Every structure is written in structure tokens, then in C-alpha cells.
Chains A and B, each alone.
Chain A
Amino acid sequence: MGSIIRGFTSPLRNLRNIRNLARLDGEDENIFWAIRDINFEVHQGEVLGIIGHNGAGKSTLLKILSQITEPSEGEVIIRGRVSSLLEVGTGFHPELTGRENVYMNGTILGMTKKEIDQKFEEIVEFSGVQKHIDTPVKFYSSGMKVRLGFAVAAHLEPDILIIDEVLAVGDAEFQKKCLGKMEDVAKQGRTVLFVSHNLNSVLNLCSRSILLGKGVVLIDSDSKSVVDFYLKNKETFKANEANVDDYLKSIYFSEISGSPKTEFSFDEDIVLNISFHNIENRSKLGLAVFDDFERKVFIDIFQVTSVRTKTAVKALIPKSVLTPGKYNVTLSIMNPYDKVYWLKNDLVTFQISKLSSKYEKINYDCGVINMNIKWEML
């Protein structure tokens, strides 16, 4: 809202701000390097997995490799035709038919009309929308759109394929089909760069992987050792980046009595203690909790009031809701207008043990939350 009014009162300052959107000035301390000093080589026919926690720089790397954004420094040399899939169905227009959109999407991805003509039947069959291929896409279900989009992408024949987690869409059956198709692509001797959170598919598809952390390559080795290293050290390189900060003084978990601890039993209240060096009045705290599969479990927002004397916050996470497992906490600070100005991913972790009458003997995944269902025999 502020910037909108400023357009009226001081357009010149607005002009300067907007100009600076796309400018980097020398060695400014405030520059955030999403990735820096990354060096690696991928050989023809190799399937490389790229993993790392949120904010490690994976997406930035992909955007640079696929020529969407330009690097501020450094160089990439690519031999061969590249197709990058950061999204399925790019360029789909709701008013056009499925057929027209296949051509539209295909040419955006770098195919020629001739190539699409040759593969058209195959694409339509793969997508499973034969019946509706001459219907405008706006009448499609979202699942149909995704399937058609992936079908086009799956029939690209580049020398190098760059894939972001596009597989996170569609139903389970279609995801399986997609994974199968990607294995085929890999087997055809194409070079594939595969970015994913799904460690299993990285293990299945990629012979070699690199692990990114805070914008640099942490290790570059065979997928098995990289994934092992990632799982083993997940905690440590999360802990390192936490805590010391201009805003945050300390953050830890404790039981209700106040004594710190990180492992809780299922039926025990969990207290998150946060204290700040300084935080402005009416700021908002955003709390997000992720499980070990990096699924977001819940979020909550708390508005800070009258901070002159108080700079600590206590949050009580009620017992008997989260199921046993490890949880990561992401914290953010927003101004009163919900603009985030401080954010730390995976700041602290806590664990809920199986020590409870309900979960002690269970060995399978019991979901994210505990639900007290009222069962009744009729």
C-alpha cells in the first residue's frame, strides 16, 4: 500500500526503486548470492540428481542452466540442445483446443512443427485425452491439462533434459507413468539433470548426484553416498545456519516446566521458546512446521504487541496431535502488512517418540496428525 501512495507523492523515488529491481551494485553487503562458486561437469548420457534443502539454490541453478535468468558472474558451457521442464503446460491458452495447445506448448519447448506432427498421435495417446483433443482446454479438468502438458514434454528429444519437480503433480498412477517415461529417457543415453526433493526417485534414476547447501556444492559423488550424507547431516547443516542473527537471540524447545529438550513423547505438550534482540511492535511471527519428508504440517501467525519490555515469545504446541517422527521449524518475521523481511528455514528440530500407548507397536507410516476418531459399533 505504501509504495502505491508514494507513486503519487514521490514518483522519482519510486522510479529509482523500480530501476534498482534489476541492478547489482558492486560488492554491496546486502547482496544475497543464491548460488556462488559452483563448479561441476556433466558428461553425455549421465543422469545427475541435484538435491538440497529448501533455499539451497537448486531452483536458481536450474533457472541459470535453462537460460531463464542470466548469471551475475561465471559461465556455463552447454553442448547440445537443451530442454528444460520447470513446469508442465507452459503457454496453454484456455480458448484453444487441446490439439492447438499441443503445438503451442511443443514449439515453446523448442520443437518444430514437423517434429510435433510426427509425434502427435503418440503424445495424445500418452496423455489419454484422445476424446477431447478438439475441445478447448478451458473445459478440461486440471488433471487432464497436466497430463497433456506432460505428454508433450515427455516427447521432447533434446540432448540434455533439465527437470524440476514437475512430477509432484497428477495422480499417483500418472506419476508412476511419468517416472517410467523418465527412466526410458535416461536409458536412451540422453543427459538428464534432475532436481528433486524425492530422495527415492533420485536414488532410482540418477547414478550421480550433487548436494547443494547455501548456494555451494557440498558433495558431488554417486547418488547413494550423497543421499546418505544428506540424511545423516541434515541436522548439522541446519543447526549451523541457525541462531546467531541480528533479529533472533535464541530459539529452543522445552517442556512446560521450562527445561530444554528436543525429544518429546506423544502425549506431552511442546513449548517453543523464542527471544529476539529487537523486533518492532506489531510485527508478525510466522511459524511453519515441516515433517521429515518436507511436507508442510501446519503454520501459525502471531502478532507481536508492545515489545519495549518483552522480547521473548513462547508458543505451545498441543500434545497428542503430531504423530511420532522428526519435525523442522521455519520461522519468519513480517511487518504489519504481511511483508516478510526475515525468514529462516529449518531453524530447529524436535522429535516425537513412539513412547505412547497408541504408537508404541506401530511400524508403518502413521500419517502426519493424530486424529481422535470416535469409533462405534452399530
Chain B
Amino acid sequence: MQQQFQHQVTYIRKQEGWRAINFRELIRYKDLLIFLTIRGIKAKYAQSILGVSWAVIQPLFSTLIFTVVFGRLAKIDSNGAPYFLFSFVALVPWTFFANTLTESSNSLVANASMISKVYFPRLVLPLSAVFSKGVDFLIGILLLAVFLVVYRQVPSWEIVLIPWLVLVLLMTSLGIGMILSAMAVQYRDVKHAMTFAVQLLMYVAPVVYPTTNVPEKWVLLYSLNPMVGVIEGFRAIFIHTIDFPYTWLIQGTVVSVILLVFGLFYFKKMERVFADVA
């Protein structure tokens, strides 16, 4: 039997105001995070004929539609790159971002029964929602590599900065994901709003058009959206439409850090009422 002094001590009392996330506890529950992530991936493609191929088909079809509608019919400028490649490069990070928002905003509500029956760090739910989308993202990157070979594009040296782009992408997704998931527990309106909000967001990010089409005086405001730096960064590296957008990316990094920190605190603040209102 264990000795008294080896026991961890837990204090349960009313917590007020803003608190930091208990990361130590989160690490103790890392296996739960891993299994929830696996559950998310497996459950999504279970009992479907094409399985993981859907991760390829989804962005591919969007790209084809965009190429026809925006590239051919509307003749939107693609900074000289083939429009197909231009929109696909943007859709890889964008699909990840959009799916992550939908998935994580729903993660707490969908697991309400778990929340009201067992204690575990609630943060693992939106975290696993984001991570389980990582597989689709990796598949997207592989597909992109194939297209780059087909189109004979050689990435620029800034490819070493990819981890930076992915980090900004992750922080933004996680930050907004945490805020939305915590809000959705109490206000089910979030779920209804998500459907068109994600679409709307796509048009305020340079997915179907280049940032150079944005009027000069709005660019500063526009590039506060972290996805601008990420998407244009991907384009600069893989299809050389513009020079690597350091300014936009630095701005985006700052905003994404703010989103992440605020998300963590907001989530923690709301966490204590989850079981009561879920």
C-alpha cells in the first residue's frame, strides 16, 4: 500500500475569475488525448467505402470548382500561377482550419454525456478535435507534393520556415476552437452560426483570390487575419506568386498568440460550468 506522503492532494473549492490551465494534469492525461484523437480519425471514416480517400477528394473537388468558377469564368488573378495550383495550395491549410473550427466547436456538446459523468481535463476534447484533423492536413500536403511534381514547381528555400507556418495555423485553430467550444456549451447558437461563418471566413482570407487584389489601404487590417500570412506563405514557398510575406506572418503570429492565450483562459473560466449547462 502506498504511503500517505506519496499521495497527490486535490483541493476542490469554488474557483473565481481567470485561472491558468493546469498543464501538468493535461500531461498526465496525454494517453486520453491520443485515444480521443484516434477515435476521431477512425470514427470519421468508419463504414465508408472510400475511407481516408475522402480527405483527398474533399479539397480536390473544391479546387476543381474554384478553378472553373473563379479561375475560368470570373478570371480572378492568380499572380501568374496556374489557378488550379494557386487555389489548391491555399485550400490545404484552409480546409484544416475550417474543419478544425467546425469539429472543435462541436466537441464539448457532442461529448456532453462524458462531461457530466467523469472528470478529466476538458481541454482534451477541443485539442483532440484539432489533432484528429491533422491526418487530413498531412494527406493534403502529400497531394500537394504530387501536384508540384506534375507542374514542375521547385519550392523556394523558405520551405524551412514551414514549421513556423504550421505553428501559426495550429495556434489560430486551437485558440478560436477553444473559444467556440466553450461558448457552444452554453449557447447552442454557435452551432447554427458555424455553417455559414466558415464560408464567410473563407472569403475574408485569400483562398480564391490573391492578397494583392485587396486595396492597398485595407491590407494592414486584412493581414491581421493570421490565415493571410499562412496562406500567402504557403504560396510564396511553393508557387512563388509573391516574395515571402514576413510582415504579414509576423502580424499573424502576434494575433494567433493572443488568440491562443485568450482561448486558454476563456476555456478555463467557462470549464467549471460545463457539467451544469451541457
CA–CA, A108 and B32, complex, Å: 6
Residues of chain A within 8 A of B43, CB atoms compared:
93, 95-96
Q: How distant is the Cα of A75 from the Cα of B10 in the complex, in angstroms?
A: 10
Given A22-B273, A86-B117, A113-B31, decide whether A104 and B11 contact each other with a Cβ distance below 8 A. Answer: no
Q: 1/0 per position for B1-17, CB-CB distance to A under 8 A?
A: 11010011111111100
Cβ A87 vs Cβ B117 within 8 A? yes
Our pick among B29, B39, B114 for the contact of A100 (Cβ within 8 Å) is B39
Residue of A77, A100, A107 ringed by the most chain B CB atoms within 10 A: A107
Q: Is the CB of B8 within 8 A of A90?
A: no
Residues of B with C-beta under 8 A to A70: 12, 14-15, 272-273
- The reply to whether B11 and A71 contact each other, CB–CB distance below 8 Å, is no
Q: How many residues of A contact B (CB 8 A)?
A: 46
Across the interface, do A68 and B46 meet the contact criterion of CB distance under 8 Å?
Answer: no
Query: A68 to B35, Cβ gap below 8 A?
Result: no
Contact of B14 (CB < 8 Å), options: A22, A73, A111: A73
Any chain B CB within 8 A of the CB of A82? yes
Rounded to whole angstroms, the CA-CA distance of A95 and B48 in the bound complex is 11
What residues of chain B lie closer than 8 Å to A19, measured between beta carbons?
Answer: 186
- Cβ–Cβ contact B14 & A68, under 8 A: no
User: In the bound complex, do residue B119 and residue A18 qualify as a contact, i.e. CB atoms below 8 Å apart?
Assistant: no
B window 32-67: CB within 8 A of A: 32, 34-36, 38-39, 42-43, 46-47
* Chain A residues closer than 8 Å to B38, beta-carbon distance: 100
Question: At the interface, yes or no: B118 with Cβ under 8 Å from chain A?
Answer: yes
Segment at the interface with B among A59-67, A267-275, A356-364: A59-67
Residues in B whose Cβ lies below 8 Å from that of A78: 9-12
For chain B, what secondary structure do more than half of its interface residues adopt (helix, strand, loop), or is it mixed? mixed
Which of these, B13, B118, B186, B277, contacts A68 with CB under 8 Å? B118
Min C-beta distance of A94 to chain B, whole Å = 8
Which B residues are in CB contact (< 8 Å) with A71? 12-14
Contact A66 B186 (CB under 8 A): no
Whether A107 and B13, one on each chain, are in contact in the complex, defined by CB atoms closer than 8 angstroms, is: no
Are the C-beta atoms of B42 and A96 separated by less than 8 Å? yes
A214 CB, min distance to chain B CBs, angstroms: 21
Given A66-B119, A68-B117, A70-B14, A21–B276 Cβ distance below 8 Å? yes
Nearest residue (CB) in B for A72 is B14
Give Cα distance in the complex from A87 to B31, angstroms: 21
Is A318 located at the chain interface by the 8 A CB criterion?
no
Contact B186–A107 (Cβ < 8 Å)? no
Within the complex, which residue of B13, B32, B111 is in contact with A74, where a contact is CB–CB below 8 Å?
Answer: B13
Q: Within 8 Å CB of B39, what residues of A?
A: 93, 96, 100, 104
If A22-B186, A84-B119, A95-B43 touch, whether A108 touches B12 (CB-CB below 8 Å) is no
Contact A189 B1 (CB under 8 A): yes
Cβ of B275 within 8 Å of any chain A Cβ, yes or no, is yes
Q: Is A80 within 8 A of B7, CB to CB? A: yes
Could you tell me the distance in whole angstroms from the C-beta of B116 to the nearest C-beta in chain A? 6
In the complex, A327 has a CB within 8 A of chain B: no
Given A22-B273, A108-B114, residue A103 in contact with residue B35 (CB < 8 A): yes
Q: Is the CB of A107 within 8 A of B46?
A: no
Complex contacts, A68 vs chain B, CB 8 Å? 115-119, 275
**Chain B 106-147: CB-based contact to A (< 8 A → 1; otherwise 0):** 000001011111111000000000000000000000000000
B42, A100: Cβ atoms closer than 8 Å: yes
Q: Is B151 positioned at the interface, with any CB of A under 8 Å from its CB?
A: no
Q: Roughly how many angstroms separate A91 CA and B36 CA in the complex, as a whole number?
A: 9
Which positions in A face B, CB cutoff 8 Å? 18-19, 21-22, 44, 63-82, 84, 86-87, 90-91, 93, 95-96, 100, 103-104, 107-113, 136, 159, 189
Given contacts A71-B12, A104-B39, A107-B35, 13 further A-B contacts (CB under 8 A): A44-B4, A69-B272, A76-B10, A78-B9, A79-B4, A79-B8, A80-B8, A91-B114, A93-B39, A100-B38, A103-B35, A104-B36, A113-B31
Q: Would you list 23 pairs from A and B whose C-beta atoms are within 8 A, ordered by A residue?
A: A18-B187, A21-B276, A21-B277, A67-B10, A69-B272, A70-B272, A76-B11, A77-B11, A78-B10, A79-B4, A79-B8, A79-B9, A80-B2, A87-B113, A93-B39, A95-B42, A96-B39, A96-B46, A100-B39, A108-B32, A108-B114, A108-B120, A159-B2
Binding site for A on B (CB under 8 A): 1-2, 4, 7-15, 29, 31-32, 34-36, 38-39, 42-43, 46-47, 111, 113-120, 186-187, 272-273, 275-277
